Each structure stands twice: as structure tokens, then as C-alpha cells.
Structure 1
Amino acid sequence: MTPPEATAEGKVSRTAAPRPAVSLVQMTKRSQFLAAAKARRQATKGFILQARKRPEGDAPDEIRIGFTCSKKVGNAVARNRAKRRLREIARAILPEMGRPGWDYVLIGRATETAQRPFETLQGDLKYALKKVHA
């Protein structure tokens, strides 16, 4: 990585690099979840990732993402906590490592999703994305 360069006035810009111009859109329709369930999947210790490439012409410049946790994860409080953690790792990782024109579904696992360290969950998502796109 190169250091920031000075402007004409001699000041150095310390702003962060711009994020990729990819929008994350949350999946809401059952048919979208069912289509993703028939596609590729990769299990990790913290969650299961399902991924599918959408047909040409179906919003090619956005990444659709869905989250689900069954009652095996726990009561409503535990399920919502697990989904919040999944949403946050997706928000952090998918704009850089996800592919536009793809649908991703993250499925929470009982006990693991809510209790696993956050950095480890991020590593799990990076690993799963590499395997799915290989």
C-alpha cells in the first residue's frame, strides 16, 4: 500500500479509501430464499452460506443478501442477536468480497453464531465466499 500523497498546498489527505460502488439489498421474498437454497452452499462453524448467481438482467449491479435463523438457535432474543451479528459481518465483508449479480443467504447456527468471536465470524464469511466462488 502506498502512503497518501501531498496536495499542492502540502497537506496530506487522511480520509479512508472509498468503498466499492456496490449496493447491498436485503432479500424479502420467499421465492428468493428458495432459489438460493437450491444453489451452492458452504458450511462453516458459525453459519451456513448459500449463494447463487442471478440470471442476466436481474439487477446486475447489486448484491442481494438474506438472513435466517430457525428456532434451533433459541428464543426470539437469541435469534435476533444472531441475525444482527450476521448482518454486521455481511455489511463489512460483502461489498469487497461479494460479487454483484449474486444472492447470498446466511443461516445462523445454534449457539455458535451468537457466541463465536466477531473476528472469527468475519473470517468464516471470507473463507465461505472463497469456497463458493472457486
Structure 2
Amino acid sequence: MVPDTPPPGESPPGAFSVLRQRADFLAAARAQRVPMPAFLLQARLRDPSEPAETAVRVGFTCSKKVGNAVARNRAKRRLREIARAVVPVDGQPGWDYVLIGRADATATHGFDAMKTDLARALRKLHK
């Protein structure tokens, strides 16, 4: 095992957990939105009455407008990678973020530009 990797079942420091429940996605959809050229960012501050989890949570989704399953999965992989690079730095604990892929743009937009866009969107959101 590589020394920098966490033990199985633990996340590395500064990491985020992934949203999987439909209710969490729907709650984020009713909250704030920040449109960017290659994706849409939806975000919400979790209610204190929800189970205590201080970690940042991120969800990823792409509709069929993005393309077939191969295109949607590629778009989601790109969104996951920009989230891995940016959210631990610019994300706020106690927040849920959902990144929604856009047709054509998510798969073709420059990777560095997408990382910059996500950082800018998070700063704009937390002003």
C-alpha cells in the first residue's frame, strides 16, 4: 500500500463525499445556481437539523441532452476531476454542491478553463 493513501473506507484529508440520494439532488436544485460555460453549479448550505456531517458533499449529473451513455460518462469524469482539484480548496464545509454537465460544452471545454470556472463559481457563491 502506498503511504499517502488512506486506509480502506476512509477518505483522504480535504476530500469530499459524493451525493447519491435523489433527495439531496432535489434539495440542491431548489437552492442557489451559478451558471458557467461548461457546467451549471447548484449549491446549498445544509440545514442544521440534518444529520451532522461537516464534510463537503458533491454530486454529478448529466442529462441525455449531453449525449449517449459514453458521452455522459466522459462528461461526469471530467466534472469529478475538476471537483477533486478545486472543491477541497474553495469549497465550504457543510455545503452540498451539484455539478451539471452541459451538452457539447462539458466534453470539449478546456480542462484548465473548467477548473478556473469552478473556482470562480465557488468564490462567487460564497461572497
Q: TM-score, normalising length from structure 1?
A: 0.82
Query: Which structure 2 segments of 5+ residues have no match?
Result: 1-11
2:62 aligned residue: 69
Equivalent position amino acid for 1:61 in 2: T
Mapping of 1:54-133 within 5 angstroms?
Answer: 54-56=46-48, 58-133=51-126
Check the 8 A contact 1:58/1:101 in 2, yes or no: no
Query: Which structure 1 segments of 5+ residues have no match?
Result: 1-19
CA distance in 1, matches of 2:89, 2:52: 18
Identical amino acids, percent of aligned pairs = 57
CA distance in 2, matches of 1:97, 1:23: 12
Equivalenced residues, count: 115
Question: What is the RMSD of the two structures over their aligned residues, measured on CA atoms?
Answer: 1.4
Please say which of residues 49-58 and 32-41 is displaced more in the overlay. 49-58
Note the C-alpha offset of 1:59. 3.4
Note the C-alpha offset of 1:77. 0.4
